[in-house]
Amino acid sequence: MSNETNAGRNTVVVVGHGMVGHRFVQELRKRDIDASWRVEIVCEEAEPAYDRVGLSSYVGSWQRDSLALDGNTYDGDELVVTHLGETVTVIDRAAKRVVTSAGREIAYDALVLATGSYAFVPPVPGHDNEKCFVYRTLDDLDAIRAAAEAAGPGASGVVVGGGLLGLEAANALKLLGLKPHVVEFAPRLMPMQVDSGGGSILENLVTDLGLEVHTGVGTSEIADAENGNLRVTLSDESVIDASLVVFSAGVRPRDQLARDAGLPVAERGGVLVDASCVTEDDSIYAIGEVAAVEGRCYGLVAPGYSTAEVVADRLLGGSSTFPGADLSTKLKLLGVDVASFGDAFATTENALEITYHDAVAGRYAKIVVSDDAKTLLGGILVGDASAYAMLKPMVGREIPGDPAALIAPEGGVGVGMDALPDDAEICSCNGVSKGSICSAIAEGACDIAAIKGCTSAGTTCGGCVPSIKQLLEASGVELSKSLCEHFAQSRAELFQIVAATGIRTFSELIERYGTGLGCEICKPTVASILASTSSDHILDGEQAALQDTNDHFLANMQKNGSYSVVPRMPGGEVTPEQLIVIGEIARDFGLYTKITGGQRIDLFGARVDQLPEIWRRLVDAGMESGHAYGKSLRTVKSCVGSTWCRYGVQDSVGMAVFLEKRYRGLRSPHKLKFGVSGCARECAEARGKDVGVIATEHGWNLYVGGNGGQSPRHAQLLASGVDDETLVAYIDRYLMFYIRTADRLQRTAPWLESLDGGLDHLKAVVCEDSLGIAADLEEAMDRHVAGYQDEWAAVLDDEEKLKRFVSFVNAPDVVDPTIRFAEYERKVPVLLDLPQVRPGASTPSDSRAGADGPANEPVKEGVPT
Q: Is the pLDDT of residue 854 over 50?
A: no
Q: Which of 397-401, 425-429, 821-825, 843-847 has the lowest mean pLDDT?
A: 843-847
Q: Could you give the angle at which helices 434-442 and 448-455 cross, rounded to 10 degrees?
A: 120
Phi-psi region of 769 (alpha: psi -120 to 50; beta: other; left: phi over 0): left
pLDDT of 812: 64
Q: What is the mean pLDDT of residues 591-605?
A: 92
Residue 864 has pLDDT above 80, yes or no: no
3-state secondary structure labels for all residues of 660-713: HHHHCCCECCCCEEEEEECCCCCCCCHHHCCEEEEEECCEEEEEECCECCCCCE
| Partners of 829 in the β-ladder | 821
Phi/psi at 502 (5° precision): 75, 15
Least confident of 403-417, 607-621, 828-842: 828-842
Burial readout 191-218 (b: 16 or more C-beta within 10 A, e: otherwise): bebbbebbbbbbbbbbeeeebebbbebe
pLDDT digits (tens, 9 = 90+) for 22-45: 999 999 999 999 999 999 999 999
The per-residue b/e assignment along 606-624, b for 16 or more CB within 10 angstroms, e otherwise, is: bbbbbbbebbeebbebebb
* Residues 632, 529: Cα–Cα separation, whole Å: 12
* DSSP per residue, 288-342: GGGEEETTEE--SHHHHHHHHHHHHHHHTT-----------EEEEETTEEEEEEE
- Name the band, by pLDDT with cuts 50, 70 and 90, for residue 673: very high
Average pLDDT, the chain: 87
Most confident of 225-229, 256-260, 471-475: 256-260
**Per-residue model confidence as pLDDT tens digits over 157-211:** 999 999 888 998 998 898 888 999 999 999 999 998 899 999 999 999 889 888 9
Sheet of 716-722: strand order equals 633-638, 672-677, 691-696, 699-704, 716-722
Task: Choose the most confident range, by mean pLDDT, from 307-316, 361-370, 741-750.
Answer: 307-316
Instruction: Give the span between the Cα atoms of 499 and 304, in whole angstroms.
Output: 53
Q: Which residues contact 851 (CB under 8 A, 6 or more apart)?
A: none
* Residue 847 banded pLDDT, cuts 50, 70, 90: very low
- The Cα 420–Cα 723 span in angstroms is 47
CA angle 655, 657, 663 (to 5 degrees): 100
Identity of the highest mean pLDDT range in 386-390, 396-400, 445-449: 396-400
CA atoms within 13 A on the CB side of 241: 8
Q: Sorting pLDDT into bands at 50, 70 and 90, what band is 758?
A: confident
Cα–Cα distance measured from residue 115 to residue 427, given in angstroms and rounded to the nearest whole number: 29
Handedness of CA 213, 217, 221, 226 (dihedral sign): negative
Residue 775's contacts (CB-CB under 8 Å, 6 or more residues apart) are: none
Q: Which ranges of 502-651 would DSSP assign to H, the alpha helix?
A: 506-513, 522-532, 549-553, 576-589, 611-620, 641-644
CA distance 201 to 408: 17
**With contact defined as beta carbons under 8 Å apart, do 472 and 446 qualify?**
yes
- Show the CA angle centred on residue 615, arms to residues 611 and 619, nearest 5°: 175
H-run or E-run covering 369:
strand 363-369
Q: Which domains does the chain have, with CATH numbers?
A: 3-118+253-315 (3.50.50.60), 132-249 (3.50.50.60), 328-415 (3.30.390.30), 491-513+520-553 (no CATH), 632-789 (3.30.413.10), 820-852 (no CATH)
Q: Which of 56-60, 522-526, 696-700, 783-787 has the lowest mean pLDDT?
A: 56-60
What is the mean pLDDT of the segment spanning 678-703? 93
Contact predicate 588/603, CB 8 Å: no
Q: Would you say residue 295 has pLDDT above 60?
A: yes
Task: Name every residue whose Cβ is closer than 8 Å to that of residue 439 and which is 6 or more positions away in sequence.
Answer: none
Q: Is the pLDDT confidence value at 838 over 50? A: no
Task: Give me the pLDDT at residue 429, please.
Answer: 54
pLDDT at residue 844 greater than cutoff 50? no
Residue 859 has pLDDT above 70, yes or no: no
CA 595 to each of CA 151, 487, 792: distance values in angstroms, whole numbers, following the listed order? 44, 41, 21
Mean pLDDT, rounded, for 101-111: 97
Other C-beta atoms lying within 10 Å of the C-beta of residue 694: 29
What element of type H or E holds 166? helix 164-175
Q: Give the whole-angstrom CA distance, residue 683 versus residue 686.
A: 8
